[in-house]
Every structure is written in structure tokens, then in C-alpha cells.
Structure 1
Amino acid sequence: MLGTDSLTGLHAIRSRRDVGPLVEAVRELASRMGFGSAPAALIATATSELATNIVRYGGGGEVALRRVWEPGRRGLAVVARDRGPGIADVEAALRPGYSTGGGLGLGLPAVVRIMDDVAIATSPDAGTRVVALRWCHRSASADEQPCGIALKPLQDDSRCGDTAIVVEEGERWGVAIVDVLGHGREAHRLARRLLRRLRGEDWSDPAALLDRLHVHVRGSRGAAAGVSLVDAARGRVRHAGVGNTVTAVVGTSVQRLTGRSGVLGGTMPRARAFEAPVAAGDALVCWTDGLADRAVRKALPELGAGPAPVLAAQLLERCARGTDDAACVALRISG
């Protein structure tokens, strides 16, 4: 497994002195993830732009460095938050040379050029949040990866309405499984919209996160979803779910984590979080109802000790019903 735990996490940005250590951390993190020297330097440049603008114009703030896994790819996310007055005109802020001294606006064109995806949320009351992500194109072996995501669309193409994401920030891991209602292009589009939102979200309270996702996609076709926060240092997992996705801790036994009835974006009660213990070597495994539940329960004791990417792939291969989109995600908890 790649040794990056001490490099991901939250960095307070109060003065220029905080920018240098952050830039060195993101450069080292990118290098350990398998980015070449040139991409690592570019990611460091984008991070420096965001952090410097927090100091100059944003009234202080923080930058989180995260590893992100989505189906078929992994990347490095830089999540910058300031306490400034917000960006009055985001479209103008993305034009080269724009600056009003209003927060994270200056330097955004460079960040957009360097990173593969940039999402901006801003308001006068809440300041500005920028989520800048770059994908890593170096392949990694199953033994190097702490997690695995496997998908199988009902239709014979890549458009799957079931999906998952894993986010690492320090010793905490966020894991989400999503099953959008229906199939095809529109279901896939909503699934991608939820993933993009989850990259930069606050995972500290899974119930509150699920409630925010509900508001974010209200009026859509809706989805079932499970959101979990694994705190390796405390040996605990907190989980909130809605609908018929399943999440379980797999160790010496299999402990299922409870969700609630409802539809994300449709009719949903206020989310509730449930907590359970986890230990080093356990796996957190989540799956949608595209996998036959009885078959999964039968397979887990045999497959549960393998590398997380292999576990997710084999569960999907053995247990997919073949009558629905299907997704499975597994995270191996390290000591």
C-alpha cells in the first residue's frame, strides 16, 4: 500500500509561512501516488496559487489534500476554503488577469489549466470553496491499493447508474455507494453529479452529508445511497444510508450497518448515523441491489481477506444479478 497517510489531511492557512510546507506536502504526495515530476510540480503550483490567495484575499482558511478513488481511476484532490467575501462573478474570475481582491478569484485560470476538474462554490456569507482534482494515469497493483470499486451496467456500455467513491484525508476515509433509480444516460449523469459533489464534501458527519446530498439532487429521479466515515485512529465507522444499498464491516464476522427507507432527492426522512467498531485488517464493503444479497453473504467469508480491489471485483463477478446496474466498493482498513 502506498505510504501517504501523513501527507493527506487538513492544512490551516493563516499566513505565507503556511504555504511552503503545504506545497512540499502536495508535491511529495503526488510523487508517491505515481505522478511524474512534471505533473507533481504543476499540482504544487496550482496548490500554491490557491493557498496564496487564501492569505492575500480570503481572510485565512484551510486546504485539504485528499486521495480520491472513483470507478476506473484515482486522483489527488486539493480542497481550498477561505473566509472571504466570495467571488461576485465566477465566470469573470476564470478569465486570465481577473482580480478584485475578493477571495480565491486570482489565479483560478492557472488552476483550471493545470487540473482536470475544478468545482467552485462561493457566497458572501460562506466564502469560497474550490475543489481542484487531477487524475493519476499510472496503473497500480491491487496490493498497492487500499480500496477497489467494481461496476457492471445493465446495458452493454459504460453508462452505469450505480457508482461509488472513496476519499482519504489523513487517518479518515469517506466511502459512498450510490444507486440511481433507473438506467442509462440520465441515471449515469446523476451518478456522476453526486460523485463530483462528494469529492470536496465534509465527511465528518455522514448523516448531515446525506441530508446535504438530498437537497443537492432534490427533484431529480432520485437514488439510494450509503455514506460512511472510517476513523482508523479511533477504530470506529459511522454510517448513514437511505434506500436499499448495503454496507457491512467484514472481519471475524460480518456486521451490517443500518440505513433508513426513502429516496435521496425524493421523499427521505432526516438521516441518522449509526456507529460500529472496526479493526486493522477489517474491510468495509458496500454494494447495491444489483448484487444478490444472499450470494454476497455467502461469498464474503471466503473472499473477505483478499486485497480490496480483488474483493470488490470478485463479489461483482459472482453475485451480480444481471437484471440491473450493479456496484461494489471495498476498503481495507490499515493499522
Structure 2
Amino acid sequence: MDGRNRSSLTTIHLLGFQTQHSIAFFIFFLLLIIYCFTICGNLLIITLVSYNKSLHSPMYFFLSQLSISDILIATDILPNTLHAVLMKGTIISFSDCISQFYFFGVSETSECLLLTVMCYDRYVAVCRPLHYTLAMNFQFCYKMILICWVLSVSMELVLTVPISQLIFCDLNVIDHFFCDLYPILQLSCSDTSFVQLEATFLGFLFIAIPFFIIIVSYVYIIITIFKIPSITSRQRVFSTCSSHLTVVCIYYGTLLCVYLIPSRGKSWDITKFLSFLYTVATPLMNPIIYSLRNKDLNRSVDKISHYWQGLLCGKP
């Protein structure tokens, strides 16, 4: 390859969002607010689930793990994006770019697996309520969480290591706001067919199959809900699943549009927007959706608010 190797590419220039200078500061502060709310909202859920005994159930345990995944992806993506908005692009090292892609992949894979496990939890709760306590014991929940994170960390290594071994050209400009798979592969001078085949296989394994499992599970859940004679009971049961279903629709809808719809004819602006939805908007929306539609979380927040108000007013 003309004597070039992967060490010839030492830096990556991320273009980010190419916006007018007049609105650059507005976008910067908007993204900064999103980042702060994402971190605070997800940390609040983790804290509530950890310290409130009424939330010590499988559903909230899985939700706290989902919040950890959201914090990971927001911290991986947004700091560089904020810098790129202010500076009309940002320059990072090649190793940092690969690291960003790795942690992005870990968080996205874990999110897919966690949403699937949460769906199974709702399936057992609605369709097999008599077996719920036995099936969803905490030993089983801990095993599921461990499997989700181990698979995410190990499988992403399987994809990231071959990418880091590719031969890259002198061109180092990526028209994106983070180091995603296909923008990185476009910089390579070597044959990337094996990596693309590997990415397709892993995408089918960790995106398509979990999505199929979720769809089938919700078909059974909806059928079971319609069999409930009382309308009030139907609404109560469906409300326990609606938050999860909303998050699944937003997350998988954008994820499938980016990675499963052919990129030919799809502009980078559309790709950036869709990528923004599942890397930035979804981690922000998750705590909002769950807190707005969940009475247990709302009660826990009220208890903490009253507790701190009592401390500030000098009441024990």
C-alpha cells in the first residue's frame, strides 16, 4: 500500500455540525444543557433506585443499569461535540477516535441488550404474573446484567481491534460529530469488506435479534392486556409497559434508520440528525419518559424534595 501503514494517520479532524457563527453559541449552550440534564437525570434515577427500598425490584434495577449506559454514551460523545461546535470542528488523536468508537459501541450494545432484558421482565410480569417472583429473582437479574455488560465489552473488542489494524490514507477528515463506524472505514486505504461483514453480523446479532424479541414479546403482552376484562386494569397494566415501549420505539427507530437503511442517497445531514437522536436525545429522554410516567419514581422524588426542604428549613 505504497509503504503506508496505520501509524501514518495520527490525528482525526471531526467537522461536527457545520453551523453559522451566529447560532454556534446557542447550539453550544443547548448541547451543554442537554449534557447536564442527561447526567443529572440519570444519576438521579441511579440514586433513587440504590437508596429507596420501595424501588428495589427487577424493573428499577434494570432501569438503573440503562441509566449507567446513557451516562457512558453522553460522556463519550458530547464533550468533543461541544468543542467542535465552538471551534468549527475538533482535532483528536487516532487512538482517541478508536477509543470513542469503542465506548460508543459498548454503550449502544448494552442499551440494546438491557432494553431486551427489560422487555422480558415486563413479559413475565404481564403474561406470567404467578411465576414473576420465582423467574425474576435477584440472582437471575444480576446474571442478566453481568451477561449484558460482558457481551457488550467483549463483542465490541471483536469489531474495534480489526478496525485499528486497518491501513489508513493521509486524508483524516470525518464529516460527523463523533467517530462512527462507516466514517472511520471511509478513511481506510485497505480492503474493509471483512470489517463491514463483521459489523453486519454483529449488528444482526445485537440489534436485529433483540428488536425481534422485543416485538414478539410485546405482541404477547398486548394480547394478554386485551384479555383483561376491566378497562381500568388494562390501563394500569399498560402504563407499566408504556414507558419502556416509548423508549424502544425512539431508540430502535433511529438506530435502524442509520444502520439498516442503505446509505446511498442519504445525506450526511440526515445521518447526523438521526445519530444525534439516539446518541444524545435518547439518553436525555430516558429519565424524562420514565419519571413522567412512573408514579413510584415521582413519589421517591417527592420524598427527597420534602426531606431537603425540611433540612433547609431547620426541621428534622
User: What TM-score does the superposition give when structure 1 sets the normalisation length?
Assistant: 0.26
Greater length-normalized contact order (CA 8 Å, ≥ 6 residues apart) = 2
| Larger Cα-atom Rg | 2
> Between Structure 1 and Structure 2, which shows a larger proportion of strand residues?
1
> Between Structure 1 and Structure 2, which shows a larger proportion of helix residues?
2
